[in-house]
Amino acid sequence: MSADFKSRFDDSSVAQQRFLSLFLRSEQEVFRCVAALVPNVTDAEDIVQQAAMALWEKFDTYDPARPFTPWACRFALNKARQWIEQRQRWKALLDRGLAEELAQRRQELQPEFERRLKHLEACLGKLASGQRSLVEAYYYERTGIEPLAERSGRTVAATYKMLQRIRQALQLCVESRARTEVI
């Protein structure tokens, strides 16, 4: 290991420890700043987490001569404002009838959804039992990829690849069945 690399690694480690120390002492106050603007605790926690990531990315610009908590709260408030703006844009779209339009469009497409679902069920029935159980575990039971990989004796990457291949095969099968149905 070169001396330059070791020095940079040590500097990064020290910076990370310093950041964690400062952030953990300020986290409750940062949360209170966000919670005052956001009605849902879970959303507030997500925003604080986003703020923490942004703070770490910008930590090299932090002036240690100034208090950390107000600096951190400014980041968190900006993240909260972004969250609110996104929700307001969505609310504005909904207020302009987007929800009704989406519901109407979904109703119009319902027969097509049902046909494709029927085709998908038939295509799932054609899968080998191991492939079908992988799909069911991942999509229906919501089993994480790591436990699935462990169960099958594959790597995580190989399990993702297997799911990708199965999805592609299912898509081709559904499209093929849809084409023959129209003819």
Q: Read off the pLDDT of residues 49-106 as tens digits, 9 standing for 90 and up.
A: 999 999 999 999 999 999 999 999 999 999 998 888 888 877 777 677 776 787 688 7
Average pLDDT of the chain is 86
Is pLDDT above 50 for 6? no
Neighbours of 136 (CB within 10 A): 13
**Domain positions in the chain:** 3-95, 108-182
Q: Tell which CATH architecture fits domain 3-95.
A: Orthogonal Bundle (1.10)
pLDDT at 113: 85
pLDDT at 63: 92
Q: What is the CA radius of gyration of the chain?
A: 25
Q: Can you tell me the mean pLDDT for 115-143?
A: 92
Supply the CATH classification number for the domain 108-182: 1.10.10.10
Residue 2: pLDDT band by 50, 70, 90 thresholds?
very low
> Residue 49, class by beta-carbon neighbours within 10 Å (0-12 exposed, 13-18 middle, 19+ buried)?
exposed
Pseudo-torsion of CA 81, 87, 93, 95, nearest 10°?
-100
Matching CATH topology for 3-95 and 108-182?
no
pTM over 0.75: no
